[in-house]
């Protein structure tokens, strides 16, 4: 294994994409303990790496300034001045491929993708076997002689975020002796949104049958969504406080016992905080986005004969794959999850759910 003095990792885009790189980052640090490691990320997801102990630096790009050539050239010049000798592009879109090529690094690792492969000089052939996305990202380390199978996600939150969370649960008088469930009915993609009426019915069922505290979590621009779910309910949920950063969202999820909701960034943060979860999927592949411990992480997915689904999902208005998932379907998976958690989870949580009926 060659020694690399300065390493740049690239992963732009959203919350889930960035969190799914953390197993590879951890493995890289174990194998290169003395290297200087930097991570290039967009501002919206930069909190996820800000306190990661395996990094020496986080370089932030502002997505809204991409069309400004002066801003982009300035960032490229800043990257070149750091004289990285190795770049690993975990994303492989044209923008990340350009940055890799123009970074000045002698060794550039990237995936075997059409056209973009020419911007790298070390090509990784992707294993097309369906697997968790974090495992695919670990494949990018194979040219370095690193074979690591640990796909646990990392998100290190601040003490301030922990205090924020404790204050939230205290002021809302949440009884931590009862089950606390975070519910995320939001998504920026319409084809990932299960109907809000069904979320409302599910939340009512959790409260009535399990005396659960249901926390409706949301992010920027999503307050109206959780307000609508609350208005559709007969019981009273708690709407999470507005969060200033991803640390605070992580703190709230950390204070819950399990998470349920759409396939979105919040789900990945809940996984990184060690929470069992149930995810409702539309057209996307559950295997790629579900943590591979199916005793703690479950999903619902309806198979629909929809030709060229991946190409048309952004314009799809029917979304039979989501519509076919009933509230009763989710309830059955929840009961199954409770049953399995009783056997496998930590003592405190096991005691909390021991009295709940799962038959």
Predicted local confidence at residue 103, as pLDDT: 95
What stretch of H or E contains 61?
A: strand 57-61
How far apart are the C-alpha atoms of 318 and 21, rounded to whole Å? Answer: 33
Residue 18 has pLDDT above 70, yes or no: yes
Answer whether 282's CB lies under 8 Å from 321's CB.
yes
Confidence band for 348, pLDDT divided at 50, 70 and 90: low
For residue 10, list its beta bridge partners.
Answer: 40, 89
Predicted local confidence at residue 342, as pLDDT: 83
**Which residue ranges form the domains of the chain, and what is each CATH number?**
6-144 (3.40.50.2000), 159-353 (3.40.50.2000)
- Tokens 């991570």 correspond to what residue? 39
Answer whether 51's CB lies under 8 Å from 157's CB.
yes
User: Pairing relation of β-strands 180-184 and 122-124?
Assistant: unpaired
148 or 352, greater pLDDT: 148
Poorest-pLDDT segment among 30-34, 63-67, 331-335: 63-67
Confidence band for 33, pLDDT divided at 50, 70 and 90: very high
Q: What is the pLDDT of residues 284-307, one digit of tens each?
A: 889 999 999 999 999 999 887 665
Predicted local confidence at residue 66, as pLDDT: 84
Average pLDDT, the chain: 91
Predicted local confidence at residue 102, as pLDDT: 94
| Percent of the chain's residues with pLDDT above 70 | 92
DSSP states along 94-159: HHHHHHHHHT--SEEEEE--TTGGGG-SEEEPPP-S---HHHHHHGGGGGGT-------------H
Query: What's the mean pLDDT in 154-169?
Result: 97
Q: In the structure encoding, which two tokens stand for residue 92, read together? A: 């492989």
Predicted local confidence at residue 190, as pLDDT: 82
Query: What's the mean pLDDT in 182-198?
Result: 92
Residue 313 has pLDDT above 60, yes or no: no
Answer whether 255's CB lies under 8 Å from 273's CB.
no
What stretch of H or E contains 57?
A: strand 57-61
Neighbouring C-beta atoms of residue 297, cutoff 10 Å: 22
Predicted local confidence at residue 142, as pLDDT: 95
Predicted local confidence at residue 284, as pLDDT: 87
């Amino acid at each position: 294994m060659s020694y690399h003095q300065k390493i740049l990792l690239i992963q732009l885009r959203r919350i889930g994409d960035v969190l799914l790189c953390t197993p590879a980052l951890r493995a890289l640090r174990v194998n290169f303990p003395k290297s200087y490691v930097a991570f290039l990320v967009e501002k919206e997801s930069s909190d996820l790496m800000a306190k990661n102990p395996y990094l020496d630096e986080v370089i932030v790009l502002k997505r809204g300034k991409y069309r400004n050539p002066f801003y982009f050239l300035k960032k490229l010049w800043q990257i070149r001045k750091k004289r990285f000798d190795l770049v690993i592009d975990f994303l492989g879109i044209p923008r990340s491929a350009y940055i890799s090529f123009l970074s000045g690094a002698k060794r550039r690792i990237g995936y075997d993708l059409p056209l973009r492969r020419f911007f790298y000089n070390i090509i990784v052939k992707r294993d097309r076997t369906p697997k968790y996305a974090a495992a695919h990202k670990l494949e990018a380390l194979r040219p370095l002689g690193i074979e690591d199978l640990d796909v646990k996600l990392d998100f290190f939150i601040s003490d301030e975020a922990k205090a924020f969370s404790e204050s939230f649960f205290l002021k809302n008088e949440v009884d931590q002796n009862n089950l606390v469930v975070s519910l995320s009915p939001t998504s920026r993609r319409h084809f990932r949104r299960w109907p809000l009426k069904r979320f409302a019915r599910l939340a009512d069922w959790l409260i009535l049958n399990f005396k659960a505290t249901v926390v409706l979590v949301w992010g920027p621009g999503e307050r109206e969504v959780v307000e609508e779910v609350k208005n559709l309910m007969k019981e009273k949920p708690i709407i999470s406080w507005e969060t200033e950063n991803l640390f605070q969202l992580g703190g709230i999820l950390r204070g819950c016992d399990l998470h349920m909701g759409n396939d979105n960034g919040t789900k990945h943060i809940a996984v990184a905080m060690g929470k069992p979860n149930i995810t409702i999927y539309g057209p996307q592949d559950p295997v790629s986005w579900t943590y591979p411990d199916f005793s703690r992480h479950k999903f619902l997915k309806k198979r629909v004969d929809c030709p060229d689904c991946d190409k048309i999902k952004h314009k799809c208005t029917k979304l039979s794959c989501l519509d076919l998932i009933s509230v009763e379907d989710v309830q059955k998976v929840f009961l199954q999850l409770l049953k399995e958690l009783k056997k496998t989870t930590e003592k405190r949580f096991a005691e909390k759910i021991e009295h709940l009926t799962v038959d």
